[in-house]
Structure 1
Amino acid sequence: MKLEADLHTHTIASGHAYSTLNEMVATAREKGLKMLAITDHDNRMPGGPDLEYFFNMAIWPREIQGVRVLRGVETNIVDDVRGVDLPEELLDRMDIVLAGFHADAGYLGHSVEENTRAMVAALRNPKVHIITHPGNPRFPVDLKKVVLAAKEYGKVLEINNSSFLVRPKSAPRCLELARLARRYGVPVAINSDAHICFQVGDCSEAVQLAVQAGIEEDAVLNSSAVRVRDYLARHGKVI
């Protein structure tokens, strides 16, 4: 399975990552990617950038070194009302918005039911495009309810390659999620969650899991840069 885009990556702006924008793009180009989303953490994450960083992304070139660069953010799921923590004005400025649970970032839920309600709220939010690492065992959710909510709201769920490195107990839940996504016809994104340039486009473990679950290439959002453009266009984003 070949991927043309990596839609979840972090630069030094996230505070706990190690590479610059140029370094991330250079690696994407070397690996043959057509599209790269830079989705740094927001200011609720320890060490994250001030919100002005995201507003100022407007100065970025649309293409760098021949790679289409998306201006994005990985925001935090924080409640069961609107799901995420960033203001509408900022979300409107982004090309792509990812949302996930993160420790020490304002989320106070403690049960599967609370986690599920909050993740479904993020899926319901029209500003959110992809839910990140939904198989994270630290924040367990009812995976079937999440998959059905993704189907209802026309959203994408991520299979996160870094989960196999930093969240090693995620694999069984990621496999269950992938099988449910295939059963109910919900598209997935297979992303690196790179925090250093050497990880950009490295999704081998996540691809292997997706294949094991029976997911076909045309059900993977970022197997085609055109498919990414079309998906975001349906959500009002012209990239």
Structure 2
Amino acid sequence: MPVKSLFDLHTHTVASGHAYSTLKENLAAAKAKGLIAMGTSDHSPGMPGSAEKTFFQNYRIFPKSVNGIRLLKGMEVNITDFEGNLDGGQVMREMEYVIASLHSHSIQPGSAEENTQAVIGAMKNPWVKIIGHLDDGRYPMDYEKVVQAASSFGVALELNNSSLLDSSARENGRHWGRILIQQAAIHHSYIVMGSDAHIWCDVGRMDEAQKVIEEISFPNEKILNYTQSGLEWILRKR
């Protein structure tokens, strides 16, 4: 029986431009799933159709909790080159956490060496707490080097539930997700599960990610979603 996930930090609202639910709808879904916390992480302005920086700056009006759900202020930024530069700008400093990800809108896949260098470069940014959906076969990389760097920089690696669905545009997510988890187990790195929800009914959905974790027999104590202290580890200052 899988351990219950307590939080979901990878969720999107209509502000991302290609998602379909409001923040209120997402929070209601988090409440229904029994989560203690939900992070909202709309795409940075570099994603076509997404919000401008003033949207993220205005996060300051958020209450700390809504109907008993802790509301966390996040942002998913694009890795824009093979040096690991990001398009979040100075507004990243105002977030409680930042997810950095490779998206085809911002960077075309390179060689395994280039993609690895891009991800590790992003980890060096002190505002980045999570590297998103590393399970996309379109972006081959050296998972051992990525996992070792994550341990060194204190960054969590995401096992993305959306990547494991049949509807995903990413390639071979289950295969690469297993490899990521296997390397994380060897090098004692932290994994965070994220729904990557673009519609309210996917908020808090971790079922496919948990199947991969069980298949690999990955230690529960290295899954950050399972404890309050895991959440605080992500939110700490690097």
- Superposed displacement of residue 80, structure 1: 3.8
Partner of 2:67: 65
Query: In 2, Cα distance between the equivalents of 1:109 and 1:175?
Result: 21
Partner of 2:57: 55
Query: In 2, Cα distance between the equivalents of 1:228 and 1:215?
Result: 18
Partner of 1:97: 98
Partner of 1:154: 154
Query: In 2, Cα distance between the equivalents of 1:124 and 1:80?
Result: 13
Q: Which amino acid aligns with 1:34?
A: I
Partner of 1:180: 183
Query: Could you tell me whether the CA contact under 8 Å between 1:78 and 1:108 is conserved in 2?
Result: no
Query: Could you tell me whether the CA contact under 8 Å between 2:135 and 2:172 is conserved in 1?
Result: no
Query: In 2, Cα distance between the equivalents of 1:109 and 1:137?
Result: 10
Question: What whole-Å deviation, never above 9, does each CA across 1:12-70 have from its counterpart, x for those lacking one?
Answer: 10011011001000110111000001000111111111111111111111101110011
SS of equivalent residue, structure 1 residue 129? strand
Is residue 201 of structure 1 aligned with residue 191 of structure 2? no
- Superposed displacement of residue 141, structure 1: 1.2
- Superposed displacement of residue 168, structure 1: 5.2
168-177 or 64-73, larger mean C-alpha shift: 168-177
Gaps of 5+ in 2: none
SS of equivalent residue, structure 1 residue 136? coil
Query: In 2, Cα distance between the equivalents of 1:122 and 1:80?
Result: 9
SS of equivalent residue, structure 2 residue 193? strand
- Superposed displacement of residue 234, structure 1: 4.3
Query: In 2, Cα distance between the equivalents of 1:217 and 1:5?
Result: 15
Query: Could you tell me whether the CA contact under 8 Å between 1:112 and 1:140 is conserved in 2?
Result: yes
TM-score of the superposed pair, with normalisation by structure 1: 0.93
Partner of 2:140: 140
Query: In 2, Cα distance between the equivalents of 1:233 and 1:149?
Result: 18
Partner of 2:126: 126
Partner of 1:192: 195
Partner of 1:220: 223
SS of equivalent residue, structure 1 residue 75? strand
CA change 1:119–1:82 in 2 (3 A) is: closer
Query: In 2, Cα distance between the equivalents of 1:128 and 1:57?
Result: 18
Query: Could you tell me whether the CA contact under 8 Å between 1:7 and 1:222 is conserved in 2?
Result: no
Q: Which amino acid aligns with 1:178?
A: I
Root-mean-square deviation over aligned CA pairs: 1.3
Query: Could you tell me whether the CA contact under 8 Å between 1:91 and 1:97 is conserved in 2?
Result: yes
Query: Could you tell me whether the CA contact under 8 Å between 1:179 and 1:214 is conserved in 2?
Result: no
SS of equivalent residue, structure 1 residue 130? strand
What is the number of equivalent residue pairs in this alignment? 233
